[in-house]
Amino acid sequence: MKSNKQLFFSYKNKRSFLLIEVIIAFALVTLLIVPLIRNPIYFFRSQIKSLEKLECERIADLTFLDLKLEIYSDQNKFTKNLARSKKATPYEILDPYELVTFNNKKIARSYKIYSKNKEKETKDNEKYKLLTIRIFLRPTDQKRKYEYEYKMLCKTK
């Protein structure tokens, strides 16, 4: 068995790590780990954006359904003074829609209704118009708007 004196000298003769070696090893490990962490974060963010876009499409469909029901219930309100172009039509602003996700975003909604065509008459002397409904959705944290266009026939009186 070795005495305490011999153990002390054996530890003393061993070379210890230098601080520079530890820093270099840490830098190399960091350089190798960064690409492994960055790609999943990038893919996660792109998936969140695509899910938001899908959610906006769903909200646009629901908004169109609400407008369609409102148009059918009160046709005179929507068909009397329709503009004939996109630019001449004013925006109508709706209540914002709240996304229930982990970050609880609000989506601003607005729409335009216009008709490019004149009224068409059928054989039964009923008049119809082709309405174009453009729905604009904008998440509160983005500057970019999502635009959705729908067309529907509406009977005029």
Q: Which of 96, 140, 135, 146 is nearest to 112 (CA)?
A: 135
Q: Which residue is associated with the tokens 């009923």?
A: 126
Residue 8 included in any domain: no
Residue 146 included in any domain: yes
How does DSSP assign 23-69, residue by residue? HHHHHHHHHHHHHHHHHHHHHHHHHHHHHHHHHHHHHHHHHHHHHHH
Q: Which two tokens stand for residue 74?
A: 């009160």
Q: Which of 151, 152, 153, 144 is nearest to 56 (CA)?
A: 144
Chain centroid to CA 102: 14
Alpha-carbon gap, residue 98 to 93, rounded angstroms: 15
Q: What pLDDT, on the 0 to 100 scale, is given for residue 4? A: 60
3-state secondary structure of 116: coil
Domain enclosing residue 144, as ranges: 18-156
Residue 150 included in any domain: yes
Residue 1 included in any domain: no
Residue 82 included in any domain: yes
Q: For the chain, how many structural domains are there in total? A: 1
Residue 98 included in any domain: yes
Q: For 23-68, how does the pLDDT look when each residue is reduced to its tens digit (9 = 90+)?
A: 999 999 989 888 888 888 899 989 988 888 898 999 999 999 999 9
Q: What pLDDT, on the 0 to 100 scale, is given for residue 136? A: 93
Q: Among 39-43, 48-52, 75-79, 111-115, where is mean pLDDT lowest? A: 75-79
Backbone angles phi, psi at 6, to 5 degrees: -70, -40
Chain centroid to CA 98: 12
Q: For 129-147, how does the pLDDT look when each residue is reduced to its tens digit (9 = 90+)?
A: 888 899 999 988 888 889 9
Residue 2 included in any domain: no
Residue 34 included in any domain: yes
